[in-house]
Amino acid sequence: MTKIAYYFQKKHQLIDNQSYYLKLSVIIGIVLTIFVYTFDPYDNYLAIPKYELPVKIIQLGYGINTALVIYALYWLFFHKLKSTNKKRTWKTYHHWLLLVAIMSVAGFFGTIYHRFMMDVGEVATSYYLFVTIPRSIMISVPLFIISILLDQLYTNKTSLEVVKASLQTIHTEEKIQSDEKIILKSPVVNQCIEIIPSQIGYIKASGNYVEIYSIEDKKPQLLRASLHFIAERLATYDFIIKCHRQYYVNIHKIKARKGNSQRILLTLNGMKEQVPVSKSYTKTVLPYLK
């Protein structure tokens, strides 16, 4: 779900691409032409052409009409009107509304084209209500499905590359941030210590102090503060989680575990002391251990 949400947030980067919606227009036009050839939803073979043209040529016009509508709408929204930019992100409901617009406009022009090319005689209002509208809906359904499938096919190749690149950038930024030194200041006395979050093995409450054990340090750093106070200062580093009422552990440093659901002991890289996981925090820690 996270990838899907991220994809729609970045959707405008993909749709604002003329080659994409040109391909989309042509493919849907071809598929819709095949659909009209196969099912003849406009009953062309029952009507009389106004011009001396084969029915197959007239039916080809429906596909061309649809392709032009799709390309025109995409060009209008993303090239002319600049509907998406850094401040106006293309969202999920925008995508659905665009598809509805494509179906509505394509159906409208398709009906006009049909009346222009075929001699249908006098048409009663009831015919429009009970035949023309249901027929347009019938044509809209495959058009809608085709649009979604083609869009998914395109984004499987393109958007995943964008997502991977963006996630890699985010991961790199987080790594750089976690490798930078930060200063923790005691709320009680005039005391400060420097730590590198990514190097923390675990944090332990010890009376009025907190002991911070880092991988490269032989001795823990002591700070006059509560465990809750330290946890708030390190809240942005999601790899440091609470595993016991007196302990926080860096999940990236976990080497092994032993015990059962009642009590687990964690072995950390480069550290001799084992870190306990209490029963109440087992469900929180276990997913990281798997």
Residues 226 and 154 occupy one common structural domain: no
Residues 154 and 204 occupy one common structural domain: no
Q: Considering the chain, what percentage of its residues have pLDDT values greater than 90?
A: 20
Spatial neighbors of 72 by CB under 8 A, at least 6 apart, are none
Residues 171 and 217 occupy one common structural domain: no
Residues 192 and 281 occupy one common structural domain: yes
Nearest alpha carbon to residue 14 among 93, 100, 90, 101? 90
* Confidence at residue 204, expressed as pLDDT on a 0 to 100 scale: 94
Q: Is 229 in contact with 193 (CB distance < 8 Å)?
A: no
For 62-87, the pLDDT digits (tens) are 889 888 988 888 888 777 777 666 55
The total domain count for the chain is 2
Residues 75 and 21 occupy one common structural domain: yes
For 150-178, the pLDDT digits (tens) are 556 555 555 555 556 655 665 665 555 66
* CA-CA-CA-CA torsion sign (192, 193, 196, 200): negative
Mean pLDDT of the chain, nearest integer: 78
pLDDT at 248 over 90: yes
Residues 210 and 172 occupy one common structural domain: no
Nearest alpha carbon to residue 261 among 235, 224, 289? 289
Indicate the residue type of 223.
L
Spatial distance between the Cα atoms of 262 and 277, rounded to a whole number of angstroms: 9
Provide the whole-model pTM: 0.45
Q: C-alpha 196: how far from its chain's center?
A: 32
* CA-CA-CA-CA torsion sign (147, 149, 152, 156): negative
Residues 122 and 263 occupy one common structural domain: no
Where a domain ends, among 177, 198, 213?
Answer: 177
Residues 167 and 198 occupy one common structural domain: no
Residues 30 and 127 occupy one common structural domain: yes
Higher pLDDT among residues 254 and 31, named by residue: 254
* Confidence at residue 211, expressed as pLDDT on a 0 to 100 scale: 95
Where a domain ends, among 127, 161, 177?
Answer: 177
Residues 150 and 208 occupy one common structural domain: no
CATH code, domain with 252:
2.40.50.1020
Residues 144 and 228 occupy one common structural domain: no
pLDDT at 24 over 80: no
Domain carrying residue 132: 2-177
Where a domain ends, among 132, 155, 177?
Answer: 177
H helix count then E strand count, the chain? 9, 12
Secondary element (H or E) of residue 28: helix 18-39
pLDDT at 5 over 60: no
Residue 237 burial (C-beta neighbours within 10 Å; 0-12, 13-18, 19+): middle
Residues 27 and 168 occupy one common structural domain: yes
Question: Which segments within 89-148 are labelled E, that is strand?
Answer: 118-119
